[in-house]
Amino acid sequence: MANIKVDCVGETCPVPLVETRKALRKAEEGDIVEVIGTHPASKKEIPMAVKSLGLELIDTQEEGGVWRIRIRR
Amino acid sequence: MENKDTQVEGEGTMANKATIVVHSGDMDKLYSALIIANGALAMGMEVSLYFTFWGLQRLRRGALEKGPLSKMNMLGLGKWMVKRKMKKVGVVSLERLMQDFKELGGKVLACDMTMEIMGIKKEDLRDDLISEYCAVGTYVNEAKESTITLFI
């Protein structure tokens, strides 16, 4: 099982969402995709996408304006 | 984790499709269409973009970024100011949005009647982006199975 990192720091709508989706498409079942970013709305919206894709949101953290979201494919 | 209430990835169900008519060739409207389209793809929907009239002009080679602003274009000055601001905020180009759209499996359809009216030939258009050349029947057929349909 791989741990795939997606860096979206400084990116704005819709890039964090799109890059998350790209990574999830490439990931194998069981892989963990970790997205970091600074766009505030994406912190809420990536978990929405994870839900509608029927995948597992492991956790969401934020420190100093940078959030980190972990998803299991 | 499987959640029975949510869509399974890649499933082409009715609740999982968006069709957008891109009638306008204005830069800001193209941004709206592509951002919504990419957002829908990212959330697991299927998406088709139907380029017609002024929208289809933007699929001519080298024309994607050439549209004016829909309001306050002021002979290009308004567009220049908006583009400068967009760059500062970090908004990506229409070309990048289009490449992402294709990579996530989005479909680009070109209206063949517009091509006839405006004298556009296939070789004038970005065949690297276009998935299909079609007419209204294809649009209606896809739109009736969609939960999101927009005319931009």
Domains of chain B from N-terminus onward? 17-151 (3.40.1260.10)
Reported ipTM: 0.89
B88 close to A (CB below 8 A): no
Beta-strand ranges (E) seen in B85-147 are 107-111, 132-134
The whole-angstrom separation of Cα B43 and Cα A51 is 9
Cis peptide before A47 (omega within 30 of 0): no
| Residues of chain A contacting residue B38, judged by C-beta atoms under 8 Å apart | 14, 17-18
Rounded to whole angstroms, how far apart are CA atoms B141 and B55?
20
Q: Shortest CA distance to A50 belongs to which of B104, B96, B43? A: B43
Q: What is the pTM of this model?
A: 0.89
Q: How close is the nearest chain A Cα to the Cα of B7, in Å?
A: 6
Q: Let me know if A13 is a catalytic residue.
A: yes
Spell out the per-residue pLDDT of chain B, length 152, in tens: 344 334 444 444 456 999 999 999 999 999 999 999 999 999 999 999 999 999 999 999 999 999 999 999 999 999 999 999 999 999 999 999 999 999 999 999 999 999 999 999 999 999 999 999 999 999 999 999 999 999 99
Share of chain A residues as helix, strand and coil, in percent rounded to the nearest 5: 35, 35, 30
- How many degrees, rounded to 5, is the angle at CA B134 between CA B140 and CA B147? 30
Q: What is the DSSP letter of B11?
A: -
Residue of B43, B44, B92 lying closest to A15 (CB–CB): B92
* B97/A14 Cβ within 8 A: yes
Q: What is the pLDDT of residue A9?
A: 97
Phi-psi region for residue A30, left (φ > 0), alpha (ψ -120 to 50) or beta?
left
Q: Answer yes or no: do B43 and A49 touch at CB < 8 A.
A: yes
- Rounded to a whole number of angstroms, the distance from the CA of A50 to the nearest CA of chain B is 7
pLDDT at A1: 82
Phi, psi torsion values for B92, nearest 5 degrees: -80, 170
Tell me the pLDDT tens digit for each residue of A17-40.
Answer: 999 999 999 999 999 999 999 999
- Looking at the DSSP bridge assignments, the partners of residue A70 are A34, A59
Can you list the domains of chain A with their CATH numbers? Answer: 3-72 (3.30.110.40)
